[in-house]
Every structure is written in structure tokens, then in C-alpha cells.
Amino acid sequence: PPNGALKLNVDAHPSDDGRWGLGMVLRTEDGKCVGAATKVVRGSHDILEGEALGLNAVIDLAKTFSVDQIIIEVDSSSIVDAMNKRRHNRSYWG
């Protein structure tokens, strides 16, 4: 990220029972790890729902930091495209 900003990465991994493991890492502009967290959430076996749950969790985490700019990265182009449209997503995971 640019100077003065933090980057928050998140990824989701499904388990056989419908739960999702979420991993989150927060880094500075020089790549140093500021913090990391994991979380288990209930969901379905759908990958888009898992990625959306991850994004929701990372947004909640970002709210706890008093930083002017946090860049959030996810690896789902469908989730990124939905967020970039800036309108209410009417899919089941929206």
C-alpha cells in the first residue's frame, strides 16, 4: 500500500460441514505484519458466499483501526466486481 496506509488481505477456506475458515493479515507499506486473525463462520458450500463472509469479517476488523486508509484485498473477482458496481447486490450472498 502507499505510505500511511495499511493493506488487509482476507481469504476463505471451506470445511466439509459448511463452516468457513477465514484468514486475515494486516500489513504496512513495507510489508511488515501488523496483525493477523482467523475466524470460523457458518455458511454453505458455495465459494461466493464464503468469500462474501470473509469480506464482511475483514470490513468489521478494519473498523477497529484508526487509520486514514486501509486497502482490502480479496481473491474473488466476482466479489470485487459486485463491490465496484456500488449498488445493492440482490444475489443470495449480497
Chain segment 18-71, per-residue pLDDT in tens:
889 999 999 999 999 988 999 998 877 788 888 888 888 888 888 887 777 889
Residue boundaries of the structural domains of the chain: 6-77
With a cut of 80, say whether residue 92 has pLDDT above it.
no
Model confidence at 10, pLDDT cuts 50, 70, 90, reads very high
Select from 1.20.120, 3.40.50, 3.40.1350, 3.30.160 the CATH code of 6-77: 3.30.160
Q: Tell me the whole-structure pTM to 2 decimals.
A: 0.77
pLDDT of residue 16: 86
pLDDT of residue 66: 76
DSSP state of 88: -
Single out the residue of 59, 78, 80, 10 nearest to residue 38, CA to CA: 10
**Three cell numbers written together for 36:** 493477523
pLDDT of residue 80: 85
Question: Whose grid coordinates read 461466493?
Answer: 48
HEC secondary structure over 28-46: CCCCCEEEEEEEEEECCCC
pLDDT of residue 50: 86
**Three cell numbers written together for 26:** 494486516
Residues facing 23 on adjacent strands:
11, 38
pLDDT of residue 22: 92
